[in-house]
């Protein structure tokens, strides 16, 4: 089981945003969310949890109780905000000394104070 501290650090959420019911009733789901949080698969996993019949989701689930579903929805919103910030930082990265990853090229990311993290 993943620790509360790990969840707070990985999700970068405030203590009042902590998914307590998810931890209590579905710890394996919370652990999977934490594992996928900074990966491209995180968004699809959260979408499948919220809408199990969409995007090839499983039809054998009953769904989550309303309060647990609301916690997942809040995590999904937090994930989208986090992904948006990462996209802004990624957009500030530029290839120097060549393009398309040719030998001698390197990707340099310049932090800009206009891109809040």
51 — pLDDT class (breaks 50, 70, 90): confident
pTM over 0.75: no
Q: For residue 79, give every residue at least 6 positions away whose Cβ sits within 8 Å of its Cβ, in sequence order, or none.
A: 37, 42, 43, 46
Instruction: Dump pLDDT digits (tens) for 60-106.
Output: 557 789 999 999 999 999 999 887 655 444 444 544 444 555 555 45
For the chain, first and last CA: distance in Å? 28
């Amino acid at each position: 089981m993943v620790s509360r501290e790990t969840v707070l650090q990985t999700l970068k959420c405030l203590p009042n945003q902590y998914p307590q019911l998810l931890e209590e009733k579905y710890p394996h789901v919370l652990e999977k969310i934490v594992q996928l949080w900074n990966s491209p698969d995180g968004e699809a996993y959260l979408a499948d949890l919220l809408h199990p019949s969409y995007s090839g989701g499983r039809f054998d689930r009953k769904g989550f109780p309303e309060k647990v579903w609301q916690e997942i929805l809040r995590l999904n919103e937090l994930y989208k905000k986090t992904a948006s910030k990462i996209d802004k930082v990624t957009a500030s990265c530029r290839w120097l000394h060549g393009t398309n990853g040719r030998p001698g090229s390197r990707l340099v990311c310049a932090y800009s104070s206009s891109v809040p993290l």
